[in-house]
């Protein structure tokens, strides 16, 4: 189940970036579960990663390799993703298995192990079948192609019901650049530095420090502004690669062109982040929680996340029940000092439901119920404490979410 029509639009190939998908039999037979991505020599790379203290072995290796390369390599870069096994909570053997995959990939590709970035997603606490993955790596390499985005989007899925991709082309002063990306994630989504897994590539030339700045800012405003169930995964990684193959350089020297590129990149990140929410486990509603007139952005995000995480609000959304008292209660328990409830107002898709700490005089239950029946809902909360604002995107909480997660390991 997912919200809205399934759309996987045109994925423009990125010069210097190839993807190959194959079967390794990590957990299930006859399922694409291994994806190899190659970035041309000279590419720059940036990333954001989970803050979960139990981060998976591949996350640790990715962070180490990113640091050791300082964001750039004269050799090709390879990103290797397996599904079916998270390789998290696996101790020393987990690190050994992840390194074994990196070593095997490095030998096949003729590059240093530091040029290999491993990613895993699936069940936590189970050991990675490195031998099966390594045996499938040659097929992954043989399948590499610039038009491999859709296959890769399917290959990284776990409980996802649909592939997630976004692609834009931007005409700049010195030529056209492409930005294309895919993501996976449906549950255990409150990213806190990234999404479950996301890969975005561009053929623009971007220096490592600027690329990391762009990646961090885009992540914060997209993947770090969504939640399905308030759980932060052990495996979250979001990678941004710039191959430079278009010949178009993006730098701070041309502020106007940089801002145009930043906006296009943000568009791709937001499309992917919204696609994760729309495909949230058991989701029937796509919900934006907008908080405005806050004292600070942090305060606005605190209130928005408190509402978005509330099981009572989420179940009311699933039931299409305009129980506005649950929203007020969530706002009231957010960690906000000296909140004057008489200044708070709440609306639902533009229908004012509460003001001055009570039900709005103009509100009718019929109007609220009509808006709650819709697949897409915006909850707007006005705090009247300042000029800051923030939006968090979330889902409802349905019977199917429980069923999916109760059966996850079967």
Tokens 């200044």 locate to 343
Q: Based on the residue annotation, tell me whether 195 is a catalytic residue of this protein.
A: yes
- Supply the DSSP symbol for 145: B
Query: Which residues, at least 6 apart from 263, have a Cβ–Cβ distance to it below 8 Å?
Result: none
Greatest Cα-to-Cα distance within the chain, rounded to the nearest angstrom:
71
Do the beta carbons of residue 207 and residue 246 sit within 8 Å? no
DSSP 202-236: ESSEE-HHHHHHHHHHHHHHTGGGB-SSSPPPSS-
Only one residue has tokens 């710039």, namely 242
Provide the token pair at 246. Answer: 């278009």
Question: HSE-up of 213 (CA within 13 Å, CB side)?
Answer: 12
Phi and psi at 352, nearest 5°, equal: -70, 120
Partnered with residue 287 across adjacent β-strands are 377, 394
d(CA 29, CA 185): 21
With a CB cutoff of 8 Å and minimum separation 6, the contacts of 329 are 310, 312
For residue 122, what are the β-bridge partners?
A: 84
Of the candidates 318, 223, 271, the one whose C-alpha atom is nearest the C-alpha of residue 310 is 318
Active-site residue identified among 195, 219, 232, 243:
195
Catalytic residues: 195
């Amino acid at each position: 189940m997912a919200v809205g029509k399934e759309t996987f639009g045109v994925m423009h190939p990125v010069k210097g970036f190839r993807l190959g998908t194959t079967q390794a039999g990590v957990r299930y037979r006859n399922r694409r579960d291994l994806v190899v991505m190659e970035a041309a020599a000279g590419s720059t790379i940036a990333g954001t990663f989970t803050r979960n203290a139990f981060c998976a072995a591949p996350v640790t290796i990715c962070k180490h390799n990113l640091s050791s390369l300082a964001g750039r390599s004269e050799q090709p870069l390879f990103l290797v993703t397996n599904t079916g096994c998270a390789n998290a909570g696996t101790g020393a053997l987990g690190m050994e298995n992840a390194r074994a995959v990196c070593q095997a990939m490095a030998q096949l590709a003729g590059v240093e192990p530091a040029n290999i970035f491993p990613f895993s997603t699936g069940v936590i606490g189970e050991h990675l079948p490195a031998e099966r993955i390594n045996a499938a790596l040659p097929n992954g390499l043989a399948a590499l192609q610039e038009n491999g985005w859709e296959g890769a989007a399917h290959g990284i899925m776990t409980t996802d019901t649909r592939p997630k991709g976004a692609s834009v082309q931007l005409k700049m002063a010195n030529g056209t650049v492409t930005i294309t990306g895919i993501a996976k994630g449906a549950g255990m989504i409150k990213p806190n530095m990234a999404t479950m897994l996301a890969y975005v590539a561009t053929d623009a030339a971007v220096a490592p420090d600027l690329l990391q700045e762009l990646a961090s800012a885009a992540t914060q405003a997209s993947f770090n502004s969504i939640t399905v169930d308030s759980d932060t995964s052990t495996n979250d990684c979001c990678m941004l690669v710039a191959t430079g193959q278009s010949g178009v350089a993006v730098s701070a020297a041309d502020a106007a062109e940089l801002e145009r590129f930043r906006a296009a990149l943000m568009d791709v990140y937001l499309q992917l982040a919204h696609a994760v929410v729309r495909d949230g486990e058991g989701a029937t509603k796509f919900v934006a929680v907008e908080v405005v007139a806050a004292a600070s952005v942090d305060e606005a995000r605190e209130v928005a996340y408190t509402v978005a995480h509330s099981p009572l609000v989420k179940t009311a959304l699933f039931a299409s029940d305009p129980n506005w008292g649950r929203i007020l209660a969530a706002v009231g328990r957010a960690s906000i000092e000296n909140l004057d409830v008489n200044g708070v107002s709440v609306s639902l898709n533009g229908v004012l439901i509460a003001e001055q700490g009570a039900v709005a005089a103009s509100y009718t239950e019929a109007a609220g119920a009509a808006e709650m029946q819709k697949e897409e809902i915006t909850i707007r909360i006005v705090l009247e404490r300042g000029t800051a604002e923030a939006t968090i995107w979330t889902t409802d909480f349905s019977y199917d979410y429980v069923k999916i997660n109760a059966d996850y390991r079967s």
